Amino acid sequence: MQSYTIGQAARLLGVSPDTARRWADAGRVTTHRDENGRRLIEGHDLAALSIEVGQGTGGDEEGSYTSARNAFPGIVTAVKLGDVAAQVEIQAGPHRLVSLLTREAVEELGLEVGMQATARVKSTSVHIDRA
């Protein structure tokens, strides 16, 4: 299983590294240290936390004002395989994205829960909201 540094986890969760450290210190997510002493979070644990954060029960930081582009780096939180088709869910900060694609594509990419992935969205109409 892939592990993530506090900085990587923070980027995927859409929070600052300080916030990710505070959450780890508070026991909100389990960490362990590698041979160099860096704190790491297991992919499954980060996937669970990213769902929690995405549901609005997570951040203690105010969101930034931005126009999100078409790339959403995040973490795979679910993979459902059918005979031909598949469904992959990615939590990218507060955004939950669901993609329907072929089973073959999922297998070729080796997608599984806890992996880092980027969802790319193509649209002819983009709406911008400012909170």
Walk along the chain (131 residues) and give the pLDDT tens digit of each residue. Answer: 799 999 999 998 988 899 999 999 999 999 999 999 999 999 999 999 998 887 765 444 444 443 445 778 899 999 999 999 999 999 988 889 899 999 999 999 999 999 998 888 876 665 555 65
What does the alpha-carbon distance between residue 11 and residue 81 come to, in Å, rounded to a whole number? 28
Token pair recorded at residue 75: 């973490």
What does the alpha-carbon distance between residue 94 and residue 131 come to, in Å, rounded to a whole number? 14
Q: What is the CA radius of gyration of the chain?
A: 15
